[in-house]
Amino acid sequence: MRRRRFLAAATAAGLATPVLAQAQDVTRSDKAAYRLTTLSRDLEQPWGMAFLPDGRILITERPGRLRVFADGRLQRAPVGGVPKVYARGQGGLLDVCLHPAFAQNRLLYLSYSAEGAGGAATVVARAELAGDGLRNVTPIFEALPRASGNLHFGSRIAFDRAGLMYVTTGERYQMRRAQDLADLAGKVIRLRDDGSVPPDNPFVGRAGARPEIFTWGHRNPQSLAMHPVTGRMWLAEHGPRGGDELNLLVAGANYGWPLATHGIDYSGAKISDHKSLPGMEDPVRVWVPSISPSGLCFYTGDRFPGWKGSVFTGALSNEALFRIELDGERYRSEERLLVGRLPYIRDVRQGPDGLLYVVTHADNGGLFRLEPA
């Protein structure tokens, strides 16, 4: 009876019914033993995560809601003030990222698809988190031109040590856009925190090129993270039918899509005769068949000593979490975790507690945590 009264009080207070953390049996991987713990199964198509300094977790839901996980439960009421999104196909509310000085300025960034004259585009907005809502929501970037269709929006956001912001954009399933420097689709964008262009961006002052562009020739990148030692930015992106890539970003570099690719069209038709071309950057790792990488993090914690320095990415079509080992800036090896246990891992993040958190992209999606065993 006491538990029933507690649940009723939680509902009346606007909190989702708490899901008691449930740990599964011990799993042994190459360099660690771990348990998978369920934290919530009440999310609808979760896409991105960010950890607040007070321990709460912000989680985006693709239909257009920003949720808060706090004190062991998902709060029922979403954060107010989220901008209207174009929630069709692969579009909607995508990533969330805190400003490097969030503890002082309370600023965060959302990437999402928005509709306007001519169609939809990937947009980034800056906002201030105040209480249970956002205020001063200001779009600071749009991957123009807009286009019809609801595929390949990207999009991840990450900051480097200099406080510059990187944003990935998909080529909107219009592959030639990735090779057009006058077009912001199929690119990695580099901006100041207010959306202005850094003067040392590689295409500043070049006629016919957008100054926001940092790298080009990308298909649909949904993974982005800064290396914790070198400070360089890494990216994983979806290839076509085969040819998913892990890339190390080099300022001004062309990553080849669609002129150089290891994949083929979904119809089986050839896209290009070339897997590599002079003047274009080769990937660090190629996956054929595709794994559909989504989310990226470098593990720096002490809770899993054997995993320290590893790169983790969710694998949507592989129904696994990939742990990748690097030798400097070269690919060494990988192993698959959680195979078949969590379908559609959309994002993976290291929490402030040194544990790994993942969300699964489904109508009954969940938040899960990997703990040492």
Residue 15 predicted with pLDDT over 80: no
Give start and end residues of each alpha helix (H) in 173-235.
none
Which amino acid would we find at residue 145? P
Are the C-beta atoms of residues 365 and 45 closer than 8 Å to each other?
Answer: yes
pLDDT range class, residue 6, cuts 50, 70, 90: very low
Q: Tell me the C-alpha distance between 334 and 343, whole Å.
A: 19
The stretch 186-198 carries a mean pLDDT of 98
Q: Which residue has the tokens 């800064």?
A: 226
Least confident interval from 1-10, 49-58, 264-273, 274-283: 1-10
The overall average pLDDT reported for the chain is 94
Q: Rg of the Cα trace of the chain? A: 20
Q: What confidence tens digit (pLDDT) does each residue in 40-58 have?
A: 999 999 999 999 999 999 9
Catalytic residues: 152
Helix (H, G, I), strand (E, B) or coil at 15: strand
Higher pLDDT, 182 or 131: 182
pLDDT range class, residue 158, cuts 50, 70, 90: very high
The stretch 191-211 carries a mean pLDDT of 98
Give the Å distances, CA to CA, from 277 to 254, 271, 281, 297.
10, 14, 8, 29
328's CB contacts (< 8 A; 6+ apart) are none
120's CB contacts (< 8 A; 6+ apart) are 86, 88, 91, 113, 114, 146, 147, 148, 149, 150, 153
Are the C-beta atoms of residues 168 and 215 closer than 8 Å to each other?
Answer: no
pLDDT range class, residue 25, cuts 50, 70, 90: confident
Predicted confidence at residue 22, as pLDDT, reads 67
Q: What confidence tens digit (pLDDT) does each residue in 293-350 have?
A: 999 999 999 999 999 999 999 999 999 999 999 999 999 999 999 998 998 999 999 9
316's CB contacts (< 8 A; 6+ apart) are 291, 292, 293, 294, 344, 345, 346, 361
Residue 254 predicted with pLDDT over 50: yes
Percent of residues, the chain, with pLDDT higher than 90:
92
Q: Tell me the C-alpha distance between 30 and 27, whole Å.
A: 10
Residue 78 predicted with pLDDT over 90: yes
Tell me 5's DSSP state. Answer: H
Predicted confidence at residue 10, as pLDDT, reads 37
Per residue in 183-221, is it b (16+ CB within 10 Å) or e — as a string?
bbbbbbbbbebebebeeebbbeeeeebbbbbbbbbbbbb
Q: What confidence tens digit (pLDDT) does each residue in 95-111 have?
A: 999 999 999 999 999 99
Q: Tell me the C-alpha distance between 338 and 20, whole Å.
A: 21
Q: Tell me the C-alpha distance between 158 and 79, whole Å.
A: 21
